[in-house]
Amino acid sequence: MSSLTLPYPRPASLSDPFHDFTSEMLEKILQTPDSEMTWWHYQQILGPFLPAGNYEEAAYFLPRAFDHILSHDDNSLDLVTSLAWFISEYRPRLEEDGAIEAARDLMRRCLEQWTMEFCVIHFDKAGCMAKGWGLQYFDYVKHAETLAEGTCDLVRFSANADLAIEFYERISRDSDNPVESAWFLEFARQHFTDDVRRPPTDSIIRMLIEDKEIAERSAKLVASELSSFADNPSYWMDTFNALGIDSVPKLKRAEQGVDGKPAQAPQLPR
């Protein structure tokens, strides 16, 4: 159960402040028991932009939305923007209710949970064909989209932008943690390849992501200490090539694209 508590009961009605819902939709949301709510319900209630409820009505669901995102990894990308927006838009109200630090700690917990492991999902040629992609192979990192989106949202909505900066400082630090180093390299790859989703354009974050010394140090640690390094040759070859890193062990590419490089996938798998 969430450590975040707010002094509001479950609402009997939702005011639909922007007049975006039908009465039937609002009734459907409220008639859904807490135990049966999905990311869709929380997204409609919390927002952003066209939320079904105002602060007092939606606040009851905020702790439950955090509980949901932390226990449903497959819904994280669908819900992270709602949470980042709500705790930013209503930061003054959360401060008045003595709940802002608990909400911020839960957002930190999300970022930490999603970076506890570094898992590369690899599609070979047959896997790409099954997806309808005309590619020789395709790699993506579990939670990378959610983390890029979530940290961009924190910066975009501004009130809790320091949480995003804190996150990138954590994975950039000189440590003996190969998983954090792997995440640094993934975000640097996103940045330098203009990936669809990539780190925020904040000046502090960009300075960290573009630091070649951090990249070289991270690459050496990943190559020597990350247990799954040798299992993902195509991903690491592409990442090191994108970052201009050649001081680590050479890897044999599993599958070659037509021109020696993988084509850009139409979108990351969901």
Residues 263 and 150 occupy one common structural domain? yes
> What's the mean pLDDT when you consider all of the chain?
91
Residues 133 and 255 occupy one common structural domain? yes
Residues 78 and 134 occupy one common structural domain? no
Looking at the structure of the chain, the number of domains it has is 2
- Residue 83's DSSP bridge partners are none
pLDDT in tens, 59-109: 999 999 999 999 998 999 999 999 999 999 999 999 999 999 999 999 999
114, 148, 178 - which closes a domain: 114
pLDDT in tens, 233-242: 999 999 999 9
Q: What pLDDT is recorded for position 250?
A: 67
The mean pLDDT value for 27-39 works out to 97
Q: Give residue 57's pLDDT band: very low, low, confident or very high (50, 70, 90).
A: very high
Q: Give residue 2's pLDDT band: very low, low, confident or very high (50, 70, 90).
A: low
pLDDT in tens, 216-235: 999 999 999 999 999 999 99
82, 114, 146 - which closes a domain: 114
Residues 169 and 47 occupy one common structural domain? no
Task: Report percent pLDDT > 90 for the chain.
Answer: 86
Identify residue 113 by its one-letter amino acid code. Q
87, 114, 141 - which closes a domain: 114
Q: Minimal CA–CA distance to 2: which of 99, 86, 97?
A: 99
Residues 21 and 126 occupy one common structural domain? no
Structure tokens at 197: 């989703």
Identify residue 263 by its one-letter amino acid code. A
Residues 35 and 143 occupy one common structural domain? no
Residues in Cβ contact with 26 at an 8 Å cutoff, skipping those fewer than 6 apart? 13, 14, 16, 52
Is a pLDDT exceeding 90 seen at residue 212? Answer: yes
- Whether residue 235 contacts residue 118, with contact meaning beta carbons closer than 8 Å, is answered with no
Residues 149 and 214 occupy one common structural domain? yes
Q: What pLDDT is recorded for position 3?
A: 82
Residues 234 and 135 occupy one common structural domain? yes
The mean pLDDT value for 242-270 works out to 58
Residues 108 and 136 occupy one common structural domain? no
Residues in Cβ contact with 39 at an 8 Å cutoff, skipping those fewer than 6 apart? 68, 69, 72, 75, 78, 79
Residues 248 and 127 occupy one common structural domain? yes
- Whether residue 187 contacts residue 148, with contact meaning beta carbons closer than 8 Å, is answered with yes
Residues 144 and 108 occupy one common structural domain? no
pLDDT in tens, 155-164: 999 999 999 9
Q: What pLDDT is recorded for position 257?
A: 43
What's the CA gap between 148 and 43, in Å, rounded? 19
Q: Give residue 258's pLDDT band: very low, low, confident or very high (50, 70, 90).
A: very low
What's the CA gap between 224 and 269, in Å, rounded? 29
Residues 139 and 269 occupy one common structural domain? yes
pLDDT in tens, 13-31: 999 999 999 999 999 999 9
The mean pLDDT value for 200-205 works out to 96
| DSSP 8-state assignment for residue 10 | P
Is a pLDDT exceeding 90 seen at residue 255? Answer: no
What's the CA gap between 192 and 194, in Å, rounded? 6
Name the pTM for this structure.
0.90
Pairing of strands 120-123, 138-141: antiparallel
Q: Give residue 246's pLDDT band: very low, low, confident or very high (50, 70, 90).
A: confident
Element (H, E) at 58: helix 55-59
Structure tokens at 17: 């402040």
Q: Give residue 263's pLDDT band: very low, low, confident or very high (50, 70, 90).
A: very low
Q: What pLDDT is recorded for position 247?
A: 65
Q: Which domain holds residue 47?
A: 1-114
